[in-house]
Amino acid sequence: MGELLEGSRSLLELLPAGTELTQGVPVVGGCRLDQIAAEAGTPVLVVAEDALRARAREYADGLAARWPRSRVVFASKAFPCTAVQRVMVEEGLGLDVAGGGEIIGALKAGVDPRLVVLHGNAKLPDEIALAVEHELGLVVVDGPDDVDRLEAAVPAGRVVDVLVRVIPGVTAETHDSVLTGHDDSKFGLAPTDAQALIRRIEASGSLRMQGLHLHVGSQILQTEPFAESVAAIARLGEFPVYDLGGGLGARYTWADEPPSVAAYLDTLVEASRAHLPKDAELIIEPGRSMVAAAACTVYSVVTVKRGRHTFVAVDGGMGDNLEVALFDQRFEAGVVGRLDPTHHEDDELCQLVGRHCESGDVLVRDVALPRPAVGDLVVVPATGAYCFTMANNYNGNRRLPVVFASDGSWRTVVRRETWEDLLRRDVE
């Protein structure tokens, strides 16, 4: 039973803040997960709206208290759902967008275009056209080609504010696929190349050089790389704006110990005070750490096979969570209705797998589940970041719905796809 001890810990530690247990059932945003599943169907992504709003305020208030001339912009790519973007807007945040669809969603969410930051290492002409048309606040220039397209798109008499993305040369401890600040990154420019592009922009009649942007990576569980990156870009000179990116890690498992938001902000601000102009505007772009813990996914068990391993297959998988297959991300799970300690003695070491035709379609390896059976509901915490983002139609999968739970009631903000949706783009 030694292998099962980790599974016996309370899943409440990982479920959205404010979650309680009633008869072994998690109550998220005042709503029982079994009742949501019965009405919305499974799989379903459940967002605790109050927890989401509280996290946004924690970031915005915390940064403002430490550096008054500052701005928090939510990295939409972490959860590019219009309802989530709207929450951020209502809490006073700006939005970071990395493509045309995220721009459209941000505008629908009611964002002030001046608070939008556009990213992308290969921005398409129509995305640049959208940015110019809607007068987005900042365009992060990733290289000379961005400058070429921007200058061609900006109408006479208009000026677009830009930041230059710089590779800080900092390698953080995280998965290779989400490293962005190392010397071999596809994003941004090495400092020497950045200097040449800065001079070109400063001579442009349609672009205005506002400052620098950096990003170290994602799911970073130490603060030191953030401080190192600030020091690295400070050598390029003084500018009105510094966008220090995001990257703070989230807690997916009991073993994860990400820095607190306060510790993260302290590190950034201390480094900024040491290296950047005191009157500069600081921008940060939290994504994963903003939304991961605010949501969980509920599945139904379809099949249980006991043999050399116990395989528990659910009605979702890599169609709604690609984090495991792409980034080896570890999640935890529990059986809804049997999360209280009285069931721990029945824990069985299981492989929680999906329904898709790939051996790599595994949600959680070696997870302790009490007497799993067909028809059980299984909850996986910390699915608010990148799961909705990368949801797909593999094997004709219909993408799952998103519901917001708050004050004892819930509402659907993204409906489940239908069979008709899957055929909608066919032309014959």
The dihedral over CA atoms of 358, 40, 408, 93, expressed in degrees to the nearest 10, equals 60
Distance between CA atoms of residues 239 and 241, nearest Å: 6
> 3-class SS at 194?
helix
Residues with catalytic function: 357
Decide: 97 and 78 in contact? Cβ < 8 Å. Answer: no
Distance between CA atoms of residues 259 and 350, nearest Å: 30
Length of the chain: 428
**Nearest one of 129, 130, 125, 119 to 95, comparing CA atoms:** 119
* Angle between the N-to-C axes of helices 261-275 and 224-234, in degrees from 0 to 180, rounded to the nearest 10: 20
| Residue type for position 360 | G
Decide: 166 and 192 in contact? Cβ < 8 Å. Answer: no
> 3-class SS at 82?
helix
> 3-class SS at 107?
helix
Which residues, in sequence order, are CB contacts of 260 under 8 Å at separation 6+? none
Task: Give the residue carrying structure tokens 């998220």.
Answer: 28
What are 143's two structure tokens?
């290289």
Which residues, in sequence order, are CB contacts of 237 under 8 Å at separation 6+? 198
Decide: 189 and 140 in contact? Cβ < 8 Å. Answer: no
Decide: 194 and 232 in contact? Cβ < 8 Å. Answer: no
Distance between CA atoms of residues 381 and 406, nearest Å: 17
Distance between CA atoms of residues 238 and 308, nearest Å: 62
